[in-house]
Amino acid sequence: MSKPGDYDAVRKDIVAQLKKPDYDDGSTGPVFVRLAWHSAGTYDQETDTGGSNGAGMRYDQEGGDPANAGLEHARAFLEPVKERHPWITYSDLWTLAGVVAVKELGGPDVNWKPGRTDFVDDSKLPPRGRLPDGAQGADHIRHVFYRMGFNDQEIVALSGAHNLGRTHKDRSGFNGPWVNNPTRFSNQYFKLLIKLEWKLTTLDNGVKQFIYVDEDLPEDERDEPLMMLPTDMALVSDPGFEPWVRKYADDKDLFFDHFSKAYAKLLELGIRRDEKGNITNTDNKLGGYIS
């Protein structure tokens, strides 16, 4: 067991959990990035409910939301880290795992602060259905992300996380990765959104998604088809989102900078701190900043 507050020791053990040759594309990083996002993305600024505080996904009300299907794998991969550092809260561990994964997979540094509590305040529990539905369009994306307090630029920057990982038929019903190298954080997703000719297709489970098949190659030399969700395609068809897709496709540094800021903001939703970084939420019964 490490000394309470030794977050560098936790970071090291998260890194050690990233490489898993038999899991997906060989890394747990993408599903960690998603775990952190879904833990925070339930936030509603109007009612000040949801958010990463409380690690509500441990319980069925939140963990059993169909939008969170598959994230039990991410939580299980992090369990050995929690066992080695029992002093860290789950809400800190899950958000830190997302930040560590982004960096280790080649992305930017993301500012992260500890102090979240695992105390579950029933009055702050988010109802199911607050996370976005990939089958929908621009209005839905705005509804969900404006509720958290994000603007159009931040929405596009955050969506760039789809450079990582893949969709799974047995989780969301969608199928396939967005880019050819889904364990390397880059701006490739934006480039492909603009450059490739995406075709709408219906999978055998009835789910509609866009795919790209390289028809210039003989069938046996083709990679797995790439995919885009209807919500991904909305970023190029919507006049408020599209200019940012182009900017990020052209300028990787700008994307990294904006992603880093927006992801850090996401992970802080619903958390209030004083100037020293100590959490001041009155319902913070267990946490507390350890310096």
Amino acid, res. 257: D
Answer yes or no: 143 catalytic.
no
CA distance 28 to 260: 20
**How far apart are CB 177 and ligand CCH at their closest, in Å?**
8
Options 158, 192, 227, 267; binder of ligand CCH; rule CB under 6 A: 158
| DSSP H helices in the chain | 7-16, 29-40, 60-63, 71-84, 90-104, 138-148, 152-159, 188-195, 230-237, 242-250, 252-267
- HSE of 231 in the Cβ direction (CA atoms, 13 Å)? 20
**How far apart are CB 76 and ligand CCH at their closest, in Å?**
13
* Site for ligand CCH contains 142 (CB under 6 A): no
**How far apart are CB 21 and ligand CCH at their closest, in Å?**
15
Residue window 258-287: x/- pattern of binding to ligand CCH, with contact defined by CB under 6 A: -----x------------------------
| Closer residue to ligand CCH in complex, CB, 124/162 | 162
Helix orientation angle between 152-159 and 242-250, rounded to the nearest 10 degrees = 50
What single string gives the DSSP state of each residue in 49-84?
B-SSTT-GGGSHHHHTSGGGTTHHHHHHHHHHHHHH
CA distances, 270 to each of 206, 243, 267 (Å): 37, 30, 9
Options 91, 172, 186, 281; binder of ligand CCH; rule CB under 6 A: 172
* Site for ligand CCH contains 95 (CB under 6 A): no
* Selected catalytic residue, list 178, 198, 244, 258: 178
Options 96, 164, 267, 271; binder of ligand CCH; rule CB under 6 A: 164
Q: Is residue 179 within 8 Å of residue 233, measured between CB atoms?
A: no
Stretch that binds ligand CCH, among 32-40, 42-50, 111-119, 273-281 (CB under 6 A): 32-40
Residue numbers 96-115 binding ligand CCH by CB under 6 A: none
Return the active site residues. 38, 178
Which residues form the interface with ligand CCH (CB under 6 A)? 30-31, 33-34, 37, 70, 132, 134, 141, 158-159, 161-162, 164-168, 171-172, 174, 229, 231, 263
